[in-house]
């Protein structure tokens, strides 16, 4: 089966610019997650969707980050405006409903200059 | 909320030697635990998981882990490592109905020839 797809793989922008990341989960996976992984740290959950509804966005910096999953399939994460500290790898993961493993995409490495 | 502590940030070991990567989690009524591996410039790949049942869990690539409730630990072991096992390893814990995972800060395993 196809895995979780993410694009772009790499992005370099200047601070105060905007950027968007795209994720397509594994077919049939109702739950979708966005994580931020700063160099040298473990992934930190930003937002969790179940179908097209938000389950948890308590750690999403809502003044600059937004995410949507309009049709309950693919998702977009946006940062506007970007700050230097947003430099990280943004990982998307998906899972079936329940305490199942999460399947991760390859990530998007964002560098903010 | 869960917290996960990986006690060693870096573990160097010689090829064919045994290895143990340590992980402790905060206590919870019901917890489920995962070990993921991350190779450079790739997403996370599941090694093994504990949801319930037998406390000794076997995973891919010869890895195993033991769930110890009294010590709130879930250490990862392999009896004989290969050069190809060089990677970052993350322990993750989840609990509750939201199915969210909290990741540790990671352990870099380096296998030396």
| pLDDT tens-digit map of B47-76 | 999 988 889 999 999 999 999 999 999 999
Q: Which residues of B touch A (CB under 8 A)?
A: 4, 32, 34, 36, 41-46, 49, 51, 90, 92, 94, 98-106
pLDDT tens digits, A52-64: 899 889 999 999 9
- Report how far residue B44's alpha carbon sits from residue B35's, in angstroms, rounded to the nearest whole number: 10
HSE of B89, CA atoms in CB hemisphere, 13 A: 31
Segment among B75-84, B86-95, B103-112 with least mean pLDDT: B86-95
Q: What is the mean pLDDT of chain A?
A: 93
- Residue of chain A nearest B98, judged by CA positions: A55
Using one digit for the tens of pLDDT, what is the confidence trace for A10-44? Answer: 999 999 999 999 999 999 999 999 999 999 899 99
Say whether pLDDT at A99 is over 70: no
Query: Which of A8, A40, A42 has the highest number of chain B CBs within 10 A, making it the mutation to test binding with B?
Result: A42
Q: Would you call A31 an interface residue with chain B, using a CB distance cutoff of 8 Å?
A: yes
Rounded to whole angstroms, the Cα distance separating A40 from A86 reads 14
Distance CA B63, CA B78 (A): 5
How far apart, in whole angstroms, are the C-alpha atoms of residue A100 and residue B64?
Answer: 18
Residue contact A42–B105, C-beta within 8 A = yes
Angstrom CA distances, B69 to A15, A94, B59, B66, B105, stand at 46, 28, 19, 10, 21
- Cβ within 8 Å, pair B32-A99: yes
Contacting residues of A for B41, CB less than 8 Å apart: 106, 109
Nearest-by-CA chain A residue for B89:
A42
pLDDT score for B51: 87
Average pLDDT over residues B23-52: 88
Question: How far, in Å, CA of A20 to CA of A47, rounded?
Answer: 15
């Amino acid at each position: 089966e196809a895995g979780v797809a993410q694009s772009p793989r790499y992005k370099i922008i200047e601070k105060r610019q905007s950027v968007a990341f795209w994720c397509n989960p594994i077919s049939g996976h109702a739950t979708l997650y966005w994580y931020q992984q700063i160099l040298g740290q473990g992934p930190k959950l930003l937002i969790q969707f179940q179908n097209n509804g938000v389950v948890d966005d308590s750690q999403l910096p809502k003044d600059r980050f937004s995410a949507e999953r309009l049709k309950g399939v693919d998702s977009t994460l946006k940062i506007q405006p970007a700050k230097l500290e947003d430099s990280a790898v943004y990982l998307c993961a998906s899972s079936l409903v329940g305490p199942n493993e999460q399947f991760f995409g390859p990530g998007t490495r964002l560098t903010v200059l | 909320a869960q917290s996960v502590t990986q006690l060693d940030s870096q573990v160097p070991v010689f090829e064919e030697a045994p290895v143990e990567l340590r992980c402790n989690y905060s206590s919870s009524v019901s917890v489920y635990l995962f070990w993921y591996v991350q190779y450079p410039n790739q997403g996370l790949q599941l090694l093994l998981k504990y949801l319930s049942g037998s406390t000794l869990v076997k995973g891919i690539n010869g890895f195993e882990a033991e769930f110890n409730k009294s010590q709130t630990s879930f250490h990862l072991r392999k009896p004989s490592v290969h050069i190809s096992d060089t990677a970052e390893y993350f322990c993750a814990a989840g609990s509750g109905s939201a199915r969210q995972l909290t990741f540790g800060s990671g352990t870099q395993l380096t296998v030396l020839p």
